[in-house]
Amino acid sequence: QVQLVESGGGLVQAGGSLRLSCATSGFTFSSYSMGWSRQAPGKEREFVASISSTGSSRYYADSVKGRFTISRDNAKNTLYLQMDRVKPGDTAVYYCNAGYHRGGIYTPRSEYWGQGTQVTVSS
């Protein structure tokens, strides 16, 4: 049974930091690219960041580049998102997912998503 469980969300002040984790099981974590997406109220879900299966390549949305860092620990089957200098516009439910990269474009598998963790940034 595939499971992706996010944690680490919460309320943080603008300019602060937060670290999200995604514990996975039920699939070969080290064989998949992994990613983070988010969905703000009234908006469509959007790509945040992705990382290749070995961690050698990382990709970011322009809106978070230079502030967020995606990483992974293949020994622990866990994905991370370090969020620094957060802004109110980062308020959203954050989801981790597993997928693949083709030509630098990350595509999550439809069935490999977590349930999400809420991040709220106060101004």
Closest-CA residue to 95 (of 15, 24, 1): 24
Report the pLDDT value the prediction gives residue 103, as an integer from 0 to 100: 87
Report the pLDDT value the prediction gives residue 39, as an integer from 0 to 100: 98
Report the pLDDT value the prediction gives residue 26, as an integer from 0 to 100: 97
- Which residues is 13 bridged to in the sheet? 122
Residue numbers in the chain where pLDDT is lower than 50: none
Report the pLDDT value the prediction gives residue 16, as an integer from 0 to 100: 98
Q: Name the one residue in this structure whose structure tokens are 């439809």.
A: 110
DSSP for 63-123, written as a single string: TTTTTEEEEEETTTTEEEEEE-S--GGG-EEEEEEEEEEETTEEEEEEEEE---EEEEEE-
User: pLDDT of 34-54, one tens digit each?
Assistant: 999 999 999 999 999 999 999
